[in-house]
Amino acid sequence: MRFFHTQLIVSRHTTHVPGLRKTAAFRNRSSCDMCLSGDTLDCMLRLNEDTKWNAAVADDEPAVFLQLQPEQDGPNLRIDLFSLQLFLRVCEAKSIARAADLENIAASAVSKRISDLETRLRIKLFHRTSRGLEPTSAAQSLIHHARVLMRDITQMETELAHHAAGVSGQVRIYASVSTIVQHLPVELRSFIADHPSIGVELQECSSTEAVDAVCENLADIGIFGGVVPREGLRIIPYLSDRIVVLTPPDHPLSTRSSVRFEEFPDYNLIGPKKGSYLDHLVLRAASELDRPLKIPIRLNGFDTVASMVETGLGIGLVPEGCAARYASGGNFAVLRLDDDWALRQWNICVQEGATLPPPVRLLLDHLTRGIA
């Protein structure tokens, strides 16, 4: 079992330490940094029933007793951030001397930090090669965790600085009409109340357009439905909603609580905007039917769809959140659509690996708070 020092007691004679029993002892001539004994002092370990002590003794000098505690099975992980920063510098520079120059400190200080880090972690961090210092396989794992830790520390410092000084700027969002009319108003109201110096530019668009806008740096944040595969994007699940069926109160379906899409060919359907997420879902479901849909008109915007349904032109598909508002006036019936695709998933996308400006980072955190 290994031990480390935790408590200092000074006494002129070892027998003055209450309870100390000379049941086991050994001496060595090595230096003890923890008790500052130096090379000329002897270190003596005495054991009693309850306490383990280290005594650094010299002739006619007070004995320095350090209480020892058993170390945990794993490495001693009292690691300071600066040592990790120097470790990453050495990995990048492949040289202690170059890393020291980059950090503007002595090479001996860098070497000591790396040595201490190896001692604490009980692993070898570097191999010497013709190309310089190369990290060991164990160090490769440490590189990953150190970078994540440094990034999180930087993020923490940035966010705290923002709270202290306030942040100003502009955030560009491209989003579908479904999220704009259902969810974003409440989210943006609370965000702007907390950050009045940050402006938000909101553009209504299709899911494909939202993704394209982020890829082309026309938008900072895109909100889209379904799977729109693109390279170079970070995708974050946002929320889900359900599509329901809106009918006039005198429609043949109005007395029912639910309907399946396979029944739609019997009725006129107010079609969604071409290219929209909902249009994609409808076309995919229609391809599995043996009869064509009857779509007399296509519209962009759920308010206009509701207006057409109210006139009796056909039935419409709208998000459940919108339908509740329309049905409150008694001019519509709302039916559940009993198809799996009626439950839609919305996602947020930003550029992968990009350092987001502080206003964008704050809004993204606001929109995704509570999301695992």
Q: What is the pLDDT of residue 220?
A: 95
Q: Cα separation of 331 and 317, whole Å? A: 15
Pick 240-344's CATH classification: 3.20.20.60, 3.40.190.10, 3.90.230.10, 3.40.1190.20.
3.40.190.10
Q: What is the pLDDT of residue 182?
A: 84
Q: Rank 38-42, 153-157, 337-341 by mean pLDDT and report only the highest.
A: 337-341
Q: Cα separation of 329 and 309, whole Å? A: 14
Q: What is the pLDDT of residue 274?
A: 86
State phi, psi for 271 to the nearest 5 degrees. Answer: -75, 150
**249-275 confidence digits (pLDDT tens):** 899 999 999 999 999 999 999 998 888
Q: What is the pLDDT of residue 115?
A: 93
Using the predicted structure, report yes or no on whether residue 188 has a pLDDT greater than 90.
Answer: yes
* Coil, strand or helix at 239: strand
Cα distance from N-terminal residue to C-terminal residue, the chain? 41
Residue (of 177, 179, 171, 172) closest to 347 by Cα position: 179
Q: What is the pLDDT of residue 50?
A: 36
Tokens of 369: 């708070």
Pick 169-234+359-368's CATH classification: 3.40.50.300, 2.40.50.140, 2.60.120.200, 3.40.190.10.
3.40.190.10
Q: Across the chain, what does the average pLDDT equal? A: 79
**How long a stretch of residues is the chain?**
372
Q: Cα separation of 70 and 52, whole Å? A: 9
Pick 81-164's CATH classification: 1.10.10.10, 3.90.78.10, 1.20.1560.10, 3.30.420.40.
1.10.10.10
Tokens of 266: 């019997």
**89-136 confidence digits (pLDDT tens):** 999 999 999 999 999 999 999 999 999 999 999 999 999 999 999 999
**345-359 confidence digits (pLDDT tens):** 999 999 988 788 889
**164-187 confidence digits (pLDDT tens):** 655 778 999 999 888 888 889 999
Q: What is the pLDDT of residue 77?
A: 62
In the chain, the amino acid numbered 271 is: G
Q: What is the pLDDT of residue 3?
A: 36
Tokens of 264: 């739609």
Residue (of 225, 233, 214) closest to 176 by Cα position: 225
Please report which confidence band the pLDDT of residue 146 belongs to, taking 50, 70 and 90 as the band edges: very high
Residue (of 126, 143, 144) closest to 135 by Cα position: 126
Please report which confidence band the pLDDT of residue 56 belongs to, taking 50, 70 and 90 as the band edges: very low
Using the predicted structure, report yes or no on whether residue 30 has a pLDDT greater than 90.
Answer: no
Q: What is the pLDDT of residue 277?
A: 87
Q: What is the pLDDT of residue 173?
A: 96
Query: In sequence order, which ranges of the chain are alpha helices (DSSP H)?
Result: 81-93, 96-103, 107-121, 137-165, 177-182, 184-194, 207-215, 277-286, 302-310, 320-327, 358-368
Contacts of 258 (CB under 8 A, 6+ apart): 335, 336, 337, 338
Strands 233-247 and 343-351: antiparallel
Tokens of 263: 């029944």
Q: Cα separation of 139 and 41, whole Å? A: 36
- Looking at residues 309-329, what average pLDDT do you find? 86
Print burial letters for 318-331: b (CB count within 10 Å at least 16), e (below 16).
Answer: bbbebbeebbeeee
Longest dimension (CA), the chain: 108
